[in-house]
Amino acid sequence: MRARHGLVLLGGIVIVVGVLLVAMRPVQAQSAIQIVSEEINVNFPYSVDFDLSAHSEESLITSIRLFWQAGPEDVFNVRVLDVVPAQTVSVAVPLNALFLDLPPFAQIAFRWQIRDEQGHELVTETRTVEYQDTRSDWRELDNEHFRMLWYGYDEAFAHELYQIVEDAYFRLETAFGVELERRPTVVIYPDRQVFAEFQMSVGNGYNVIGRYFPGHDITVNLVSPDMPRSVYAETLAHELSHLYSDNFYVGFTSLPLWLEEGLATYNEVTSRVDNLARVRQAASAGNLISFVDLPNAIRSPNIATTNLAYAEGATVFEYIIESWGQQGLSDFLGAFRRTSSADEAMSTVFDQGIVAFELGWRAWLGFPVAEVPQLLPTPTLRPFDFPTPVFMPPGGS
């Protein structure tokens, strides 16, 4: 698949030293209320500032509201602005990007609602401004499936990164059996210090080198020249897996966390041999984490426990592929659109519950066991029958 090249420019919006200037124009020519001027200033990584001047030909403007949406899955928020009634009114609205936890290149949709005292109203069309990191000259490689934003690399290395992302995308498309409806954006920083500054601004630690931002269809990654290829290739694939999974599951459905991280680790590809070896070594020593304990182990403060939990989750998907094939994997992932229970999903797709599945997985590893720990059965609540009191008169019946 051929990649399209280009500098990152906002359609119809000119970036000048981090300031987005929207041309002065009326929004509705026949309205009694007109937009005199409008300016959107992206002050990365701190804020997005909206400035507006409006004029009413016939009355005093008494109300201005800004409706904005930080991401395609967010609801529209509203800012009611203090207005001193006048025929021409100017307002300024800063949005705190740090509070909103915005990734670079997030899409912010917005519209204005303006009213005057005679009841005239102007509602502008909904438009979008991109929260661009204006500190660097970004380049773009894209196709119909995703776009990759980068700077600071030569063309050959950028194309290598693009190929890694494309391969990871198509592995996920094959696994889930569907293509994403919305095109994701993969942002790649080359400079550790610049990336660390951004990470700290959104509350991540210095050592984090990749993050998916739910609700924005964006992953943000660090690929520095001193990294081994396996590290950045695994990070790009891992974070894209979280994005793909989040888009696949709608509403309140999702993979259990240990399977979510297992799938993301499985999608790394280059780590599969090491993960399988680590899991088999743990099995031989009798140190495997039972499936009933994986939900807690995946977020253990002990890094060795967490790494083993990730590796075990990854080998679960390898076991599924070898035992039930690609269709079995797609059916298994699809089952979590209807349930959050791994036991129910396994029973539906593989005709065996989680206990039988774990026994089969351990045998596939080469270390069969007779039994594995199970969840305690959910207690059945039984109503207590209180005896109906009977009045007994003194002296007997």
- The answer to whether domain 12-131 has CATH 2.40.30.170 is no
Query: Two tokens at 190?
Result: 């080359």
In Å, how far are 214, 313, 378 from 346, measured between CA atoms?
Answer: 27, 14, 19
Euclidean distance between CA atoms 266 and 310, whole angstroms: 9
Mode of pairing for the β-strands spanning 33-43 and 19-22: antiparallel
pLDDT at residue 145, as a whole number: 97
pLDDT at residue 203, as a whole number: 58
Going by C-alpha positions, the residue among 241, 311, 259, 302 that lies closest to residue 282 is 311
Residues of the chain with pLDDT under 70: 1-30, 200-206, 375-397
Residue 99, CA atoms < 13 Å, CB-side half-sphere: 5
DSSP annotation of 153:
S
| pTM, to two decimals | 0.84
> What three-state secondary structure class fits 379?
coil
pLDDT at residue 205, as a whole number: 57
The CATH superfamily assigned to 136-248 is Collagenase ColT, N-terminal domain (3.40.30.160)
pLDDT at residue 244, as a whole number: 97
> What three-state secondary structure class fits 305?
helix
Euclidean distance between CA atoms 244 and 225, whole angstroms: 27
Q: What is the 3-state secondary structure (H, E, C) of 51-96?
A: EEEEEECCCCEEEEEEEEEECCCCCCEEEECCCCCECEEEEEEEEE
- Domain ranges in the chain are 12-131, 136-248, 251-373
Q: Are 250 and 299 in contact (CB under 8 A)?
A: no
In Å, how far are 33, 235, 278, 354, 363 from 284, measured between CA atoms?
Answer: 76, 29, 10, 21, 12
Going by C-alpha positions, the residue among 245, 234, 110, 136 that lies closest to residue 184 is 245
